[in-house]
Each structure stands twice: as C-alpha cells, then as structure tokens.
Amino acid sequence: MNFDDIIYVLCLLSCVGAGNKTHLITFAIMFAYLAFFRLAHVFGFANPPGPTNMIQMVLTLKVSGVAFEKASSWKKLKQREQELSGTKTAEKELIEISDYDVELQSVDIFEIFQYSFNYIGVLTGPYYRYRTYRDYFETPFKNYAPCVETTVENLKFAAIYSVIYLTVDYMWPLSYALSPEFHERSFIYRFWYIWPAFLIFRMRIYTGLCLSECVCNMAGFGAYPDESDATNGEGPRKQYLHLKRDADKRSYNFNTIVNVRVKEVETCSTLREGMKHWNICVQYWLAVNIYRQFPSKKYRTGATLLCSAYWHGFRPGHYFCLLGAACYVTVEDIWQKLVGKEATGVKRLIIDCMFWFAKSCIGYNYLGTAFMLVSFSNIWSFYSSIYHVGYIGWFLMLTSGLALTKGKTAISIKHKQTETSR
C-alpha cells in the first residue's frame, strides 16, 4: 500500500464514521492531500499528469461531499430523536426524515469507494451526490430516458462551441497578448483583446462541460421523471421512488447532471447570477458545503470563492480571477441596492444592460483573462499594458457606491427623525 492509498483509506474511514465532526475531518484531509498532490515536486516526488489531477479534483468533491451529506442526515436523525423523546422542544413541524437519511448512516467503506471511482464522471465530472449514483443502479429510470436524443442535442452544441473556439483561437491567440508586438498596438486594441481572449476560454469550457454531460446522457445517468422536480447537482426534491412502478409511462430529464446553462451565463445581467449557471454541479457543492455552512454571512461569498480557487489549483491566475470576482460581486451588490432595487420598465431595462456590460467587461473578460494567463508575471505584464483599468474602475465604483449609500442612509435617518418630530 503506497502513500496515496493510505491517505484515501483514512478519508474513507473518516467519511464512514458517525458524528457531527467527521465531515470536517474528511474535508480537511481531502483538501490537505489535494495541496500535497499538487506540490509533490517540493517533497521530491514526480509531478502527476494532468488527467490525474482532474481525477483527484473530482474525488475531493465526492468523498467530502458524501461526508457532509452523512453528517447532515445524522444531525437530523439526532434532532428528531430528541424531539420524540421530549428532551428537546419540537418545532412547529417535526423534522422530515427520508429513507435516504437513514440508509446513509449504514453506508460502508466499499460502497463509498465504488461511488468515488464510478467510471461515469470520474475524470471530468459532473459532481453528483451518492444518492444519484445509487439510484442509477436501483431504479429503472435509465431504461426509459431519452438517452440518444439528449446526447445528440448536446453534441450539436458541443460542435458549435468547438468551432467558435478554434476560429477565435486562430484569429486572436492568447499568446499574442504576451508578445512585444502586442504592446505596440493602441490602448483600445489592447483593452478590447480581453473579449476574444476570454471567449476562447468560455468556448473551450462549454465544449468540455457539454461532452461530460453527453457521457451521462448516453448511459442514462442522472435521469429522473419530471414529477420528481430534479435540480442541478442535488437531484430530486420531491418523493420519487414510487414512480418506479410505472416508469415506462413517465417523461424524463437530465437536470441533475446539467453542467452549464450557456444562454443564462451569456445573457444574465450580474456576475453573481452568472456564477450560478457556470459549472453548476460544482457550484451546488460549494453552495451546500461551504457557502451555507460558513459561520459568517458577511464573509461567506469570499470564503466560497477562496475554496473554489484552492480547489482549482495554486496558480496565481486562479486567485486573481476568483478572489477578484468576490470583490466585483461586492460592488455589484452595492449598486444593485442603489439603482436597481426599485427600477421598473424601461429604466430597469437600461440598468440591466449597464450591469450586463460591466459584468461582461470586468466580471468576465478582465478577471477571466487572468485565469488563463496563469502566472503572476504574465498577468502583471498584460494588466500593465492596459494600465490596470479594471481594478481602477472597481475601486472608483466601490468608493462612490459606499459614499452614495452612506448619503442615502443619512437622508433616510433625517427624514424619519423629521416625521417623528411632527
């Protein structure tokens, strides 16, 4: 048994254990090992190949994800037990306990191992819950889902995205942005270059995410009846096991394993909304296990994006992009409250268009270019060529937004005091 095997067995054992802290132990071990895995050269080991890194990323989410699921179910069962025994005051309604919550407590190390290394999604995702994996083998839904039709439809979009990717990459390669000739072009051209640069990245990711969906579609993985109200990453939100009896009479969808909603990513007006439609199953994992679990509401967005950057890797570009997104979302929220909260009609449309342009220009293209440039020297060179206008613009919008918010609050307080004095 080598070092990798020992670490993984420790993670599985902590995941199998019961208690309200086991998920945190599993999370710590998996993410600590992810750091060691990527810094293997520091300890004298050979760096693992790229595909192995992808597998390790997916395993990190799966193992820690099932540990969080199990801990959540364990807490629900304990609370329900206390309510029924009278040791704790019951809520208005008793906590709902599903069969899955009970079954999850008896999952053993071999079942978690099989779930983790299930051939569907082990290399590129999408992330899916243990329940989705179990349902694939225990329900007949895959036999009646429109597997071929859905696969062909996704392949059409993957082909379109790949053609756009190859065309734009040929005409405006990212490498040109780092060449001496690029710095001789006008400022307008250099700044405009962030648009095709990040378009290349988006089309490449869209293609990969669509193809990973195709693997699931063709196998019937993640197919559920429409009546189950399945949602991305989570799976069914309504009772669905009774639908097995007449499975052949149902209509099906693959919402559970949908990775990206391209139309929404491109047309939504804010970065916060756009992130919800990008790499959706991973976003679900981050939302459930980091965002909702983080104790401070004020810093949970930053903590979630920091975890996302850590999961992606240790390259500076990941942090420039994802932590920059956390800063951008802060400004976006401030201005939404200032000008967009009560706007309607034409005014709402104009404001949405302005937010969309700002999101596309700074939230996507400016920050996304850093993700692709990877190294600090490349990022600094490119940002310097356009005089760091993105960060300057963000700072000006932040300071002006805070000043206007403070002024608006002061006026509101003064108005209330005047009304009270009357």
Active site residues: 279, 312
SS3 assignment for 21-78: CHHHHHHHHHHHHHHHHHCHHHHCCCCCCHHHHHHHHHHHHHHHHHHHHHHHHHHHHH
Task: Give the residue carrying structure tokens 């079942």.
Answer: 111
Amino acid at 363: G
CA Rg value for the chain: 24
Separation of alpha carbons 136 and 116, rounded Å: 14
Structure tokens at 411: 């006026």
Separation of alpha carbons 238 and 252, rounded Å: 14
| Closest C-alpha among 116, 119, 187 to residue 387 | 187
DSSP character string of 270-315: SHHHHHHTSSHHHHHHHIIIIITT-S-TTTHHHHHHHHHHHHH-S-
Q: At what angle do helices 22-38 and 3-16 cross, to 10 degrees?
A: 160
Three-state DSSP state, 107: coil
Amino acid at 227: E
Structure tokens at 334: 């401030």
